[in-house]
Chain A
Amino acid sequence: MSDARQVWLVLGASSAIARAFALVAARAGADIILAGRDLADLEINAADIRLRTGRDAVAIPFDAADLVGHADFVAEARRVADTATLNVFLAFGTMPPQSEIDEAPARAAEVILANYTGAVSVLHHLAPILEAQRRGCVVALASVAGDRGRIKNYVYGSAKAGLATYLQGLRARLFGAGVSVTTVKPGFVDTSMTFGLPGMFLVADPADVAKACLRAAERGTETIYAPFFWRPIMAIIRHIPERIFKRLGI
């Protein structure tokens, strides 16, 4: 049971896209729960949202890698949201350079935990709550990197591909309950993750990506690329035959 007041639970709320999303969602009239590891940082984000928008914003601790804690975390989020409709924006993830993972193979599992296992776990704990309230939206950040395994980024890319596949199933499950699930595949966005990386082009502003995410949630769009022009770019990249692609070294 939930009322018309909207709450967005933002997971991984310190990231630039998440921060921008929380602000546009609050401007659109929602209250905000910021969840992440750096609680001191999130408290400042929450204060900023309250001051700029007049909406309510609070910060609660969340660690995607602490799978055991997810049940309690989800219960806490439901409690903080009170009777409002809970919506979920999932933005956490890490993208260390592929070379670092190649040098320390144990890091591969960490990347999968942070980008895939943690995401599936927390969303699976949230699913019954969303089914019970019979409305709401889930928006999760996958990546264009998940559309094709590339030598430069394939551990991260494969985790995001797995997440995209999981979201397809979750979408079908929650459809019957009137809950929409939106997969967002950002291209290059101007965040701390991409700042200073070589080979960046067509870099998007986090605020623009955030607006596109909220629009997609409001419309219940299944999958968006952000910015939109990544859809044709990735269509081309996906269709390069593997026997050629493996020689390109991209």
Chain B
Amino acid sequence: MNWKEATLAGWGRSSTARTRLGRPERLAELDAAPRTADRNGLIARGAGRSYGDAALNDGGRTLLTTRLNRMVSFESMTGELVCEPGVTFGDLIETFAPRGFMPPASPGTAYATIGGAVANDVHGKNHDVHGSFGDHVRWIELILADGSTRRVGAADDPDLFAATIGGLGLTGLMRRIAFRLLPGASAAVEVRERRMSDLDAYLTAFAETRGKSTFSVGWIDALAKSGALGRGILETAEFAPAAGLVSKPRRRAAVPIDFPGFVLNPASVRLFNAVYFARVPAAGRTRIMPLAQFLYPLDAIADWNRIYGKRGFYQFQCVLPDAESPAGLRTMLEAIAAAGRGSFLAVLKTLGGEGRGHLSFPMRGHTLALDFPRASGAEELIGRLIRITRERGGRVYLAKDALLGAEDFRVMYPRLDEFERVLARVDPMGCFTSDLARRLKLKPAPMAGTA
């Protein structure tokens, strides 16, 4: 396997890394990879859809898993699929939606890989009902730092299993993953869209739909102030018969250049938000659309991250526990509106409960996600949002994050000590590491010899 020097970035393009990049095409090449880790360690990387530095390893090595993307077996009785880590959500939808199965949890892009879904314990618009991706994983075949391969599951080294789900690739290289697809799916959904006049209306509506709707997701106008604070559009969806829905292949627009910085300014975003809000009639509306279009709306625009220009952007996503949500979200939205920095991609959802991983993001509560162009003041604002999250007993989602500090991280993730005990056991020398791991002081200094 060849290695090359490459500069990689997170999806937000705010974090970059110089790395030695390898791309195994056969499992034998992946198996040999731990031996290649040098002083600066090794991290696996899938589609590169983590926003921050989770899949970056500056000065070390990076393994692209995109070519290890084969499906190995499928049991239609149980829905259990065994596949390699590079298989994408798009592959799953294309192959299994026509047979009535769907991914049990799906992030906002079909380009994300299953390896990444496990490493970040991703959640989707159905978290209340179906939990996060890790909840559906049966076992993971893991290549450890010493080069050995081990199959871990709920009954098979449960600690290592829990450390690997949401474990950011730091426990080892995933070789194969077995998980259950959900039956009863269809390639189409009926989507109901309703205007929400303010935050209270939003939270009331969520309380009513929670656990009843299969899917729910809210877009929120983060620039709206005072009386309209927290206004937005709530979408709930159920599977619908796909018959009659002509699923013509969508033409994919692309962002051909990095937009100059002035394109996205408070006035243009305010205009976008007003139009976006008004497009749904006051009485609401109901539409049938392809499942993929509902799950992955942004995939219609290739390289959409370029609209934020060369400097890139930060995404901030937190979850607040139910009891803290009303006051906490209000404080956050006020801070964002006052700063005039609300982006047009702001999302509010509910989460149903804790994940199985030591570092799983979900908890029962409300999750808010926003983009901020990387401009002066953005880091201060996100710093404030991180403080509010911490004070309210919430968590920042590491798949999106580039700015969280080690101390805040420790407070937000109470099972961190369990995670670190597993690392001390399976990877004492820090063979697997990343820029995120170093930022959050998640690993002993690699090859320091002090372990």
* Pick from A38, A44, A47, A196: contact of B4, CB under 8 Å: A196
Is B38 located at the chain interface by the 8 A CB criterion?
no
What is the chain A residue whose CB lies nearest that of B64? A195
Taking CB atoms and an 8 Å cut-off, the chain A residues in 38-55 that contact chain B are: 38, 40-41, 44-45, 47-48, 51-52
Let me know if A195 and B2 touch, CB within 8 A: yes
The answer to whether A51 and B71 touch (CB under 8 A), given A192-B1, A196-B4, A197-B2, is yes
List chain A residues, Cβ under 8 A from B26.
Answer: 14, 38, 41
In the complex, how many angstroms separate the beta carbon of B246 from the nearest chain A beta carbon? Answer: 20
Q: State A196–B28 Cα separation when bound (angstroms).
A: 19
Q: Is A74 part of the binding interface, using a Cβ–Cβ cutoff of 8 Å? A: no
Q: Does B339 contact A (CB under 8 A)?
A: no
Q: Does residue A16 face the partner (Cβ distance < 8 Å to B)?
A: yes
Which residue of B23, B27, B70 contacts A47 across the interface (Cβ within 8 Å)? B70
- A47 adjacent to B73 (CB under 8 Å): yes
**Residues of chain B at interface, number, CB under 8 A:** 21
Q: How far is the CA of A16 from the CA of B69 in the complex (A)?
A: 12
Which residues of B are found within 8 Å of A52, using beta-carbon distances? Answer: 71, 91, 94-95
Q: Which residue of A lies closest to B94 (CB)?
A: A52
A191-B66 Cα distance, complex, nearest whole Å: 12
> Contact check: which of B2, B71, B74 meets A196 at CB < 8 Å?
B2
Interface residues in B17-33 by Cβ distance below 8 A to A read 21-23, 25-28
Give the shortest distance, in Å, between A208 (CB) and chain B (any CB): 15
Whether the Cβ atoms of A16 and B25 lie closer than 8 Å is yes
Please, what's the 1-or-0 string for A106-117, where 1 marks a CB less than 8 Å from any CB in chain B? 000000000000
The minimal Cβ–Cβ distance linking A123 to chain B, given in whole angstroms, is 25
Q: Do B70 and A44 have beta carbons less than 8 Å apart? A: yes
Residues of B within 8 A of A197 (CB): 2
**With A38-B26, A51-B95, A197-B2 as given contacts, are A44 and B67 in contact (CB-CB < 8 Å)?**
no
A92 to B: closest C-beta gap in Å: 14
Interface residues of A toward B: which range?
10 to 19
Q: Does B3 contact A (CB under 8 A)?
A: yes
Query: Nearest CB to that of A53 among chain B residues?
Result: B95
Q: Scan residues 170-224 of chain A and give those whose CB is less than 8 A from a CB of chain B.
A: 191-192, 195-197
Note all chain B residues with C-beta closer than 8 A to A47. 70-73
- Also in contact, A41 and B23, with CB within 8 A (given A16-B67, A47-B71, A52-B71): no
Q: Please name the residue on chain A nearest to B24 by beta carbon.
A: A192
A48 touching B71 in the complex, CB below 8 Å, given contacts A14-B25, A192-B23, A192-B25: yes
A-B contact pairs, 26 of them (CB 8 A): A16-B25, A38-B26, A38-B28, A40-B27, A41-B27, A41-B28, A44-B72, A44-B84, A47-B71, A48-B72, A51-B71, A51-B74, A51-B95, A52-B71, A52-B91, A52-B95, A191-B25, A192-B23, A192-B25, A192-B67, A195-B1, A195-B4, A195-B23, A196-B21, A196-B22, A197-B2
B-binding residues in A (CB < 8 A): 14, 16, 38, 40-41, 44-45, 47-48, 51-52, 191-192, 195-197
